[in-house]
Amino acid sequence: MAIEVDMMKKVPVAEQDPLVRARNFDEVCLGYKEEEARAESTRCLQCKNPKCVEGCPVRIDIPGFIEKLKEGDNAGAYEIISEASSLPAVCGRVCPQETQCEGNCIRGIKGEAVSIGKLERFAADWAREHGINPVKKTSGNGRKVAVIGAGPSGLTCAGDLARMGYEVTIFEALHKAGGVLVYGIPEFRLPKDEVVAREIENVKALGVEIKTDYIIGRSETIDELMEDQGFEAVYIASGAGLPMFMHIPGEQALGVYSANEYLTRANLMKAYREDYDTPINKGQKTVVVGGGNVAMDAARTALRLGSDVTIVYRRSEKELPARAEEVHHAKEEGIRFALLTNPVEILEDEEGLVKGIRVIKMELGEPDASGRRRPVEIEGSEYEIECDTVIMALGTTPNPLISSTTDNLETNKRKCIVADEENGATSRPGVFAGGDCATGAATVILAMGAGRKAARGIDDYLNGRQ
């Protein structure tokens, strides 16, 4: 049956019912069916000067792949995407499209933007379901490059370098490859076995070797990799690092988690599954502090573990840094938002267990350095929220392992590794860096974009073009 298309509106995508999904870890968004994707693809204006591509950190030929979908050539669409992205099934799910490709879409000026993310996801899922592997192994050039960290940035850089013929080894500290895709982003947003593991297999199929349980900075230093193991260049993509706390009274109480810990227990260590040993505190009432994607992920995970959840965020709804879709989903699932509210103290009982959080109301004042209006406390507006679990989702500070064990590697005042935005070059010749370890916590796609640029930077460097 043909689908009627309203050119001003996106073809709706099926989602699990909010009340049902709030109790399971299955994927929320079910993705387009073939006829839905085909219908949505007709909404693309095929701009000659496509603004959407400019908004994409890895520069996917968006009109090109959408045209293929329209023609019914799903494999062709996937091929076009794969030329630019090693992880399309991931990006179709987790990119903040509304501020990137879809944010620039001309269709979006009068109506709704083309649903580029959902179309990308469709093409990638279709290819996977039909056993299409995008990659051909290139004949090697025999030159070795090391990549530190098997997250989105490292995987992208490794994939691109392998396509150019380099012999690439990724060193991963955890027992599983994927970085934030496996420890951070929850199953209900990004299925681990079907999607993440399969895309990592695609990178391996290019000839990339991934060594897990291998800690650079401890087992071996960057210098040892280059001097003793024959790696001619190194790309550092070691990720964001340690969680930040607020330094308010009660933060050491039992039941206060960082979002990193909470999500790692739930995702990487699969605490939500009975067959895994990992313990997690299944609270009755959880307060999540923060307004980014990580806060939404933690909140929705706590909800699925059976807790009532409130998000406390010090600015207003407009400033929430999370993807619009995550905020929308969180609300649909019944998560409460205490906006313009900031914690001042975590309250604990005689046993040291969390029993509540004292918060204060805020109002927006003058814009601060980030351009967002600075929240200011409203005197005398303190009140308490009863809870047994508090999850702090306030961002991270860089992991010191590599910068502290590598001489002459310049870091900035936030302790991030200083890397050239265009090619990833650091203060050390042959050493490149990108992703969260260089920028501070950002998004999957920005980390992938940095990996892509660094692959070109490394290729230029090794061929004396720089």
- Residue numbers of the site for other proteins (CB under 8 A)? 173-175, 183, 212-215, 218-220, 239-243, 245, 247, 251-255, 257-258, 260-261, 264-265, 268-270, 275-279, 281, 352, 399-401
Q: Is 265 exposed, middle or buried, given 0-12, 13-18 or 19+ CB atoms closer than 10 A? A: buried
Min. distance of Cβ 278 from other proteins in angstroms? 5
Q: Which residue, 215 or 347, has its beta carbon nearer to other proteins?
A: 215
Q: Which residue, 138 or 212, has its beta carbon nearer to other proteins?
A: 212
Nearest Cα neighbor of 411 from 437, 376, 378 is 437
Q: Which residue, 251 or 319, has its beta carbon nearer to other proteins?
A: 251
Structure tokens at 311: 């998000």
Min. distance of Cβ 283 from other proteins in angstroms? 12
Using CA atoms, how far residue 166 sits from 95, 311, 421, 463, in Å, is 28, 46, 22, 12
DSSP 133-202: ----PPPP---EEEEE--SHHHHHHHHHHHHTT-EEEEE-SSSSTTTHHHHTS-TTTS-IIIIIIHHHHH
Check: CB of residue 384 under 8 Å from CB of residue 356. yes
Q: Which residue, 90 or 441, has its beta carbon nearer to other proteins?
A: 441
Min. distance of Cβ 370 from other proteins in angstroms? 24
Q: Which residue, 127 or 354, has its beta carbon nearer to other proteins?
A: 354
Min. distance of Cβ 302 from other proteins in angstroms? 16
Check: CB of residue 229 under 8 Å from CB of residue 148. no
Q: Which residue, 104 or 399, has its beta carbon nearer to other proteins?
A: 399
The HSE-up count of residue 211 (CA atoms within 13 Å, CB side) is 12
Could you give the 3-state DSSP secondary structure of residue 23? coil
Q: Which residue, 179 or 449, has its beta carbon nearer to other proteins?
A: 179
Min. distance of Cβ 227 from other proteins in angstroms? 15
Structure tokens at 60: 């996917």
317 φ/ψ angles, rounded to the nearest 5 degrees = -55, -40
Nearest Cα neighbor of 458 from 406, 410, 417, 423 is 423
Min. distance of Cβ 438 from other proteins in angstroms? 16
d(Cα 210, Cα 170) in Å, to the nearest integer?
A: 5
Q: Which residue, 11 or 280, has its beta carbon nearer to other proteins?
A: 280
Min. distance of Cβ 268 from other proteins in angstroms? 8
d(Cα 89, Cα 223) in Å, to the nearest integer?
A: 35
d(Cα 91, Cα 82) in Å, to the nearest integer?
A: 12
Min. distance of Cβ 353 from other proteins in angstroms? 9
Using CA atoms, how far residue 404 sits from 358, 399, 410, in Å, is 38, 9, 10
Nearest Cα neighbor of 387 from 299, 285, 466 is 285
Min. distance of Cβ 396 from other proteins in angstroms? 8
Q: Which residue, 89 or 294, has its beta carbon nearer to other proteins?
A: 294
